[in-house]
Amino acid sequence: MLDKNGLTEEAFLRSYRAEDFQRPSVAVDMVIFTVGEAEEKNYRKLSGKSLQVLLIQRGGHPYLGSWALPGGFVRPDECTEKAAERELFEETGVDQVYLEQLYTFSEPKRDPRTWVMSCSYLALLDRERVQLKAGDDAVSAAWFELSYTLLREEKVMLAEGGVKTQVYELVLSGEGEKLVAHIERKTRVNEGVATVTYALESCEGLAFDHGKIIAYGLERLRNKTGYTDIVFQLMPKYFTLTQLQQVYEVILDRPLLKAVFRRKVAHLVVETDQYAQGGGHRPSKLYARDWREDLTAKW
């Protein structure tokens, strides 16, 4: 079949000059979450949990010295998933990790070097699997504990719509540093059409728009925690139900009722005959994920 220039498809493809169009660079950036434990002096008490994200300190311009999400450019022979797996492996030495595409950020000015889009990925992993190669001269990687709280909220109601503006504070603590970003989340309704936009209001010590990407990743994790079993991707192979509940609580940032929680997860786990001992109290049974459920569920 010939096109309007009288070319066959083969001839068209031979004559196609991709250089005629300007192209962006495309990077992948990884929001890698894990759950860490705080020190606990009381031998009886359980250790507190915290949600952590992996950052690397930039060893070159731009944002030299700032902390950034691990990532890198996508190569012509790979898809973004492959690039994400590659970067993740380079950074943590781990493969076989839960990975999910998050969002593609594409503001023309987001990178001072050139036109760079970032296809971001969310990765979840059990802390025990990662052994960060400590202080590898130039680049150092570290876990940062994160908190994400609503600073202020404003609603304006108009005749045919309205605007809700929320400002969240993202605080990342680790390596003796405290990185703070303020993220503005605007929900607009206009003639029935709803739109949500995110903007970085301020950002200290965090490179590029990575504060926004982390906020995005956290919201995804929180939302999905409500309607999928994604949380298990953060758990080790064997765990107690209390540990599982702690992880839910640290993600959702609110306490859950024990009895209710256990009823709800009962069908997602299988009991083992092992017990976790050592605390000054009744030992708790170890459970494993019942992965058969994954093949039944919708996600």
- Residue 255 contact, options a second copy, DNA, none, Cβ 5-8 Å cut-off depending on partner type: none
For residue 167, give the H/E element and its range.
strand 161-174
45 DSSP assignment: S
The minimum distance between CB 265 and DNA, in angstroms, equals 10
261 belongs to the binding site for a second copy (CB under 8 A):
no
3-class secondary structure, 129: helix
Angstrom distance (rounded) from CA 189 to CA 183: 20
Rank residues 86 and 262 by Cβ distance to DNA and give the closer one.
Answer: 262
- Residue 242 contact, options DNA, a second copy, none, Cβ 5-8 Å cut-off depending on partner type: DNA
149 belongs to the binding site for a second copy (CB under 8 A):
no
Angstrom distance (rounded) from CA 216 to CA 223: 11
The binder of a second copy chosen from 6, 41, 43, 96 (CB under 8 A): 96
Considering only residues 170 to 229 of the shown chain, the ones binding a second copy according to CB under 8 A are 187, 189-196, 223, 226-227
| Distance from the Cα of residue 221 to its chain's centroid | 7
130 belongs to the binding site for a second copy (CB under 8 A):
no
Rank residues 66 and 242 by Cβ distance to DNA and give the closer one.
Answer: 242
Candidates 30-38, 40-48, 110-118, 139-147: pick the segment binding a second copy (CB under 8 A): 110-118
Where does residue 273 rank: exposed (0-12), middle (13-18), buried (19+ CB within 10 A)? exposed
- Which residues of the chain form contacts with DNA (CB under 7 A)? 42-46, 240-242, 257-260, 262-264, 276-285
77 belongs to the binding site for a second copy (CB under 8 A):
yes
106 belongs to the binding site for a second copy (CB under 8 A):
yes
Residues 6+ apart with CB under 8 A from 222: 251, 252, 253
Q: Which residues pair with residue 180 across a beta bridge?
A: 171, 204
Q: Are 59 and 139 in contact (CB under 8 A)?
A: yes
Rank residues 44 and 109 by Cβ distance to a second copy and give the closer one.
Answer: 109
